[in-house]
A and B are shown apart, each in its own frame.
Chain A
Amino acid sequence: MKIYYFAWVRERTGRSDETVTLPEGVTTVAELIDWLKTRGPEFEFAFENERFVRAAVDQQLVSHDTSLKDVNEVAFFPPMTGG
């Protein structure tokens, strides 16, 4: 599965994208965040205040309880500030 990071989430994790194999037991966006946070301080920092991090699954904005079944792409980013 491909993961993309944008804006300060990208800066904090120190990467714009990566490909990961989901470990057993990671079935939702929230569980993915919990798992990412175990991978190092940069991820703990990026997700330290999870409610400020938005998630998109296959380019659709979703809540953190969304399932990752058959998902190709997940993205994490702050609230949007375009326009």
Chain B
Amino acid sequence: MKVRIQTEDFDANEECARLADGKNNIGAIVTFTGLCRDEEGRLSALELEHYPGMAEAKIQEIVEQAETRWPLQGVTVIHRVGRINPGANIVLVVTASAHRRAAFEAAEFLMDFLKTSAPFWKKEHLADTKAATETGWVSAQDADDEATKRWQLKE
């Protein structure tokens, strides 16, 4: 399966090996791992929510777009959901191509679109529960939208 949404952790090395297995035409593999980041002990955990069905379909659609734009020998995308502790994995993107540029660009493209157009939402659980005056839902970042726009094909 190219696209997986799961509560369990993943192993980037294992996924790389799985993608390359039996193929000798791959010249470059790029892996991106997104981690749950804590800033000075503020965060207790992240809660990842998704829209089952649409989330899988949307990632699949983004993968297909990447495969149309770059000559890829393989793609794996894994997105975790549920409660994720600081330091733990959230998302994995692996791209394989004959040459590095396609693998790098495709991985970046996939991450930019994953962040802005796949139906996932992050909620922060704070270590200091007294400080949690807000609802905890992470706001969408304009910088992520800008990052996505740079992939628009010129007419």
Contacts and interface: CB of A to CB of B under 8 A. Distances in A.
A6 B49 contact: yes
B137 A78 contact: yes
Contact of A80 (B34, B57, B117): B117
Interface residues of A, number: 16
A4 interface: yes
A11 interface: yes
Interface stretch (B8-16, B63-71, B95-103, B118-126): B118-126
Interface residues of B, number: 29
Contacts, number: 69
A33 B64 CA distance: 33
Most A CB within 10 A of own CB, among B79, B114, B137: B137
Contacts of B152: none
Q: Is the interface of B mostly helix, strand, loop or mixed?
A: mixed
B103 to A, nearest CB: 18
A4 B138 contact: no
A82 interface: yes
B119 A8 contact: no
Contact of B51 (A4, A11, A79, A83): A4
B122 A82 contact: yes
